[in-house]
Amino acid sequence: MNINFKRLAVTGAAVLLSSSLVACGANEAQTGGDNGGDNGEGGSKTIALLLPESKTTRYEAFDRPMFEAKVAELCDDCEVIYFNADQDEAKQDQQVTSAIDQGASVLVLDPVNGDGAGGMVRDAQDSGATVIAYDRFIEGADYYMSFDNETVGRMQGEALVEAMGDEGGILMLNGAPSDPNAAQFKAGAHGAIDGSGVEILAEFDNPDWSPDNAQQWTSDQLSKYDLADVKGVYAANDGQAGGVVAALTGAGLAKDELPPITGQDAELAAIQRIVAGEQSMTIYKPIKIEAETAAEVAVALVNGEDVGETEDFRGVDSFIFDPIVVTQDNVGDTVVADGFYDVGDICTDAYADACTAAGLE
């Protein structure tokens, strides 16, 4: 049974509708469940946004401001309370408690640990709140939204194999085992790499996604493998790719000698590396659509309105978006055309020549 009913059941209107709600599912349930914006239990217009970390730039630079702006645009009397867990699961648990104590009726939760977040979801639901699992899946959440994460991994793997001409050894840096997305990226990437001519020399699941850990691990591998034998690096995201570049250049490679390196998130530093030929690709996930959909769903929920069409993902009503590969060839047609970055953001003095060569002006 979906938990929206649980949330709505605390309002008078929903109690009247309860028997039909059980039968008709989440979206229809919301249509009939206008709570009129009352501020009783579960009916507040306080929306909590809980993000997992801050070393990956997307969260503070895009997810948070885009979400907050959209809520403000759609709802005059909604309040957003914001938390960042800094990759600390216990801290996130306290933040969920704090959000509940502050009367949040919707929690948009990007969990540090997907598997460990079930208790947080239940606590929130027990308080009458609705939980949107944001970007990372949580079983038992009321809604989920993310990009197609297995496709992300497959696109990274395919791009790497292609850039390497289907041969040579790689180092493989996956995301945090606590992050359910990381397993999907990894599965997708293995699907493209395994069975190709590319050989995985060593592989690591980076416990906190951190660039520092990625750099350290890569440096450690260079005492086991000859630098000349590392013909490519699979890095699951751009933060880690930055650590890989630091390790490889620290070991003596010039920037124009770097092997193909993958990434994800279209971080500004990664786009600059791509333009300069120091990273071969990233995955651009237009975060606007994810953050704004989360805001729209959250506002619909506090207003008791329909959340729109969903698809099923592992039993949860979901919104799944398409990722986009970015290479030197399409920086202008993707992140620039979308307004994610201005050419001026990318083409600072240090990248002016590379930008000219790449046709970005």
Residues at the site binding ligand GAL, with contacts judged by CB under 6 A: 53, 56, 58, 135-136, 175, 179, 181, 209, 237, 264-265
Task: Give the neighbor-by-neighbor strand order of the sheet with 198-205.
Answer: 198-205, 168-174, 230-235
Nearer to ligand GAL, 108 or 354 (CB): 108
Residue type, 143: Y
For ligand GAL, the closer of residues 259 and 286 by Cβ is 286
Q: How far is the CB of 206 from ligand GAL (least distance, A)?
A: 10
The nearest distance, CB 100 to ligand GAL, in angstroms, is 24
Gap between the Cα atoms of 302 and 39, Å rounded: 10
Query: If DSSP codes are grouped into helix, strand and coil, which group holds residue 311?
Result: strand
Query: In the complex, what is the shortest distance from the CB of residue 215 to ligand GAL, in angstroms, rounded to a whole number?
Result: 16
Q: Decide whether 181 or 334 has the Cβ nearer to ligand GAL.
A: 181
Q: CB of residue 31 vs ligand GAL: minimum separation in angstroms?
A: 31
Residue keyed to tokens 């970005």:
360
Q: CB-wise, 33 or 180, nearer to ligand GAL?
A: 180
- Specify the residue, 209 or 340, whose C-beta has the smaller distance to ligand GAL: 209
Q: Could you count the other beta carbons within 10 Å of the beta carbon of residue 101?
A: 9
Residue 308: CB atoms within 10 A of its CB come to 12
Closer residue to ligand GAL in complex, CB, 56/95: 56
CA distance readout (Å), 156 to 184, 229, 347: 12, 20, 25
Query: Least distance to ligand GAL from the beta carbon of 248, Å?
Result: 21
Please say whether the beta carbons of 140 and 122 come within 8 A.
yes
Closest distance between ligand GAL and the C-beta of residue 257, in Å?
28
- Residues 89 and 73: their CA atoms lie apart, in Å, by 31
Dist. CA 103–CA 45, nearest whole Å: 9
Q: Whole-angstrom Cα distance, residue 343 to residue 341?
A: 6
